[in-house]
Amino acid sequence: MTYPFNLSLYMNSSIVGGRDAVNFTVALSGPGENIVAPYDYVEFNSTAPGGAPLSVPSNYTANGFSYNPLGLTNDFELIFGGPGGGSQADIGTANATLGLAYWDATTGSYQTTPSAYNYGGETGETVTGMNIGWASGSGGPGGLTTYGTLATGPSIMQGLWNAGAPAGTEPVTVNVNPSNAFLIVDAVNTSASVSHFLISEPLAYPAVFGQTLWLTPGTYRISVGLSDYTPVERTVVVGSSPITWSLNLRHNVGAGVYTPLWAFSNAQLAALSFGGSGTPSSPYLIFNNQRAPMAGVFGLYNDYVFPVFPGVFFEGTTATVAIVHGASLSAWTSTSQYPGPLLPSTNDLQYWFWNVSNVALADTTVSGWFGSSAYYPVVFDTFNVVFYASSGNLVAGNDFATQGEALLSFSGGTLFGEVNVGGGNNTIWGNTFTEAAYPNSTISVAPDWSGVDVGLGIELAESNDLVYNNYVATPTTAWLLPLNLYSGTPWSYSDTWNISKQSAGVPHWAANFPTFRLAGSITHSWFQGGNFWWDYGVANPYNGAVNYIGHLPYVENATTLIVYVYGPSYYYSTYIYNGGDYVPLP
């Protein structure tokens, strides 16, 4: 796609074979594109046996007031969501207009719906980081004169036209240093019955995405903060003119880690560091002095328990950086929203590393996010640590007490052209992978929520990684995927799961990490070589793998159903292949 483009989605009632039907059509226009195509249709069994065929479509009224048998309102929704399966997406920038209209046969034209809200209630996919307001006058999509406007900003749920909120949005620019601070926006409602906003709660927006927010006219409290810096708060009245606020946060070690740690540049890495200069011999040392759970604004999740914010998110950085004895990244989670009673009161946020190099995660206890889908190997919503399209990194000496899936490292791929193909050449050494006990919740839960006995330790979908001297005791130990996790296409990778058998005292170093000495055996044996696998020599009751003592290499040859992948067929896989571990540790 090339910007700008126009996308129209049509839903039309019709008659097909004497029965009610709904047809869906897509129209796309823009530079180089001009497409109108049917997308799908639904035909209803709306006639009695032997009854006369219909000649006029049955009436269906969607007015937002009536409830259907499922207890949902009959309404129309145009939604922005994550890529599928109930997932969550964080939006960095947004600029669009939105129309929601119906055909009026009397006037022979499309008419804007009488009222609207900027949120929906009948889909699981969600997004944050965009503000949807409304405007009236010329310039609306499809010639509409009342329409929604989409811009960068906090996702405050509110009414739009004829539903409470005033028209228009205005920019509020917060020029903050460091530029990777978080902006926490709270809509101030002064009346008992909320007049402008349906919901008033703090919402966080990462300044790494941009420092200009678009807000509906009203009063807001904006708190600007970053871990190890003193937060600053200001009340602003958004009206008819832009607002600019410039400030320098004051470094304050006593503040500790109270926001996620995000960096999209080497300079932003330096702002998160309490020492070092960003070189291999003197890596940046990332803040780790967390004293309490982060505020609930950072522990948000959607109905499918996809978390909104990772606790650490580095993107595109190249300076040498070390997260040693890292923070717990725990945050308060809401137990009042659905499905809160099934969740612990605090949850540990994830580590995300996107297109980075020279990152060391070492000597850290990692628990990670506990969600509803504790085990689904081709979805990374619950992986504790994720490296994507990243090369030349080190994961060493960590204790993964996972509540679902522990470590994922995968490359980019091709999807209408190559996208972030990098990845691989990472070292995974000296880590312990176990499954954590099910966390306490306010009510008892069904087994599929518990995560017990379905945890996964290591998952790779890239080549040339070196994985050795790890203690892997999760029910399913490891999996080298036979597909590209970015595009879903079949793929063949090759990684190394051991070094040659040698004395435990021989030191090794990962490239570009001279300060991390890799030596010894994680099982305290006299030699180093491969990894310890709990089911080597044991019939694994959780996935059917049988790896006989003396049979080399160890491959975790699972025989049970893994995941529904390709159409109507099921996929079974040898988990570790293209080599396997030839020197498993006793």
> What's the rounded Cα separation, in Å, for the pair 386 and 486?
13
Higher pLDDT, 73 or 173: 173
User: What pLDDT is stored for residue 254 in this prediction?
Assistant: 96
Tell me phi and psi for residue 525, to 5 degrees: -80, 170
pLDDT at 561: 47
Question: What pairing do the DSSP bridges indicate for beta strands 394-396 and 427-429?
Answer: parallel
| Whether residue 186 has pLDDT greater than 80 | yes
- What sign for the dihedral angle of Cα 376, 379, 384, 385? positive
- Looking at the chain, the whole-number percentage of residues with pLDDT higher than 90 is 58
Compute the distance between CA of residue 307 and CA of residue 342 in angstroms, rounded to an integer. 15
Rounded distance between C-alpha atoms, residue 49 and residue 574, angstroms? 52
pLDDT tens across 479-520, in order?
888 878 877 778 888 999 999 999 999 999 999 999 999 999
Residue 230 binned pLDDT confidence (cut-offs 50, 70, 90): very high
Residue closest to 126 by CA, chosen among 80, 92, 164, 163: 80
Three-state SS letters, 193-229? CCCCCCCCCCEEEEHHHCCEEEECCEEEEEEEECCCE
Residue 81 has pLDDT above 70, yes or no: yes
Question: Using CA atoms, how far apart are residues 485 and 481, in angstroms rounded to an integer?
Answer: 8
Q: Cβ contacts of residue 454 below 8 Å, gap of 6+?
A: 374, 375, 404, 475, 476, 542
Read off the pLDDT of residues 449-458 as tens digits, 9 standing for 90 and up.
444 566 789 9
Choose the weakest-confidence range: 39-43, 123-127, 177-181: 123-127
Q: Where are the beta strands (DSSP E) in 363-429?
A: 365-366, 383-388, 394-396, 399-402, 405-410, 413-414, 418-419, 427-429
Q: How far apart are CA 339 and CA 260, in angstroms?
A: 23
Asked if residue 568 has pLDDT above 50, the reply is no
What's residue 138's pLDDT?
A: 87
Burial of 58 (0-12, 13-18, 19+ CB in 10 A): exposed
DSSP string, 101-144: EEEETTTTEEEE-S--BS--SS-S-EEESEEEEEEESTT-GGG-
**Tokens representing residue 554 in the block:** 């160890």
Instruction: Determine the Cα–Cα distance for residues 66 and 72; give it in Å rounded to an integer.
Output: 8
Q: What is the pLDDT of residue 299?
A: 92
Question: What pairing do the DSSP bridges indicate for beta strands 399-402 and 365-366?
Answer: parallel
CA dihedral angle for residue 264, residue 268, residue 274, residue 275, rounded to 10 degrees:
90
What whole-number distance in Å separates Cα of residue 385 and Cα of residue 368?
Answer: 8
Among the ranges given (38-42, 376-380, 397-401, 405-409), the one the predictor scored with the smallest mean pLDDT: 376-380
Nearest one of 78, 211, 226 to 153, comparing CA atoms = 211
Number of alpha carbons in the 13 Å side-chain half-sphere of residue 123: 18
pLDDT tens string 101-140: 999 889 999 999 999 989 887 777 889 999 999 999 988 9
Question: Whose CA is closest to 182, among 131, 135, 129?
Answer: 129
Task: State the pLDDT at residue 190.
Answer: 56
**Structure confidence at residue 236 (pLDDT):** 93
Q: Is the pLDDT of residue 191 over 50?
A: no
Token digits for 472?
């892997």
Local structure of 438: helix, strand or coil: coil
Structure tokens at 297: 């604004």
Cα angle value 371/374/379 (rounded, 5°): 95
Q: How many residues does the chain have?
A: 586
Task: Return d(Cα 516, Cα 519) in angstroms, integer.
Answer: 10
CA nearest to 349, candidates 394, 383, 391, 398:
383
Q: Let me know: does 292 contact 327? Beta carbons within 8 Å.
A: no
Rounded distance between C-alpha atoms, residue 305 and residue 345, angstroms:
13
Nearest alpha-carbon partner for 300 in 260, 254, 251, 357: 260
Contact 81, 123 (CB under 8 A): yes
What is the separation of C-alpha 135 from the centre of its chain, rounded to a whole number of angstroms? 31
CA distance 224 to 248: 10
Please give the residue that has the higher pLDDT: either 303 or 565.
303
Q: What span, in angstroms and rounded, lies between the C-alpha atoms of 95 and 138?
A: 17
Mean pLDDT of 365-370: 85
pLDDT above 60 for 584: yes
CA distances from 471 to 377, 435, 535 (A): 20, 12, 11
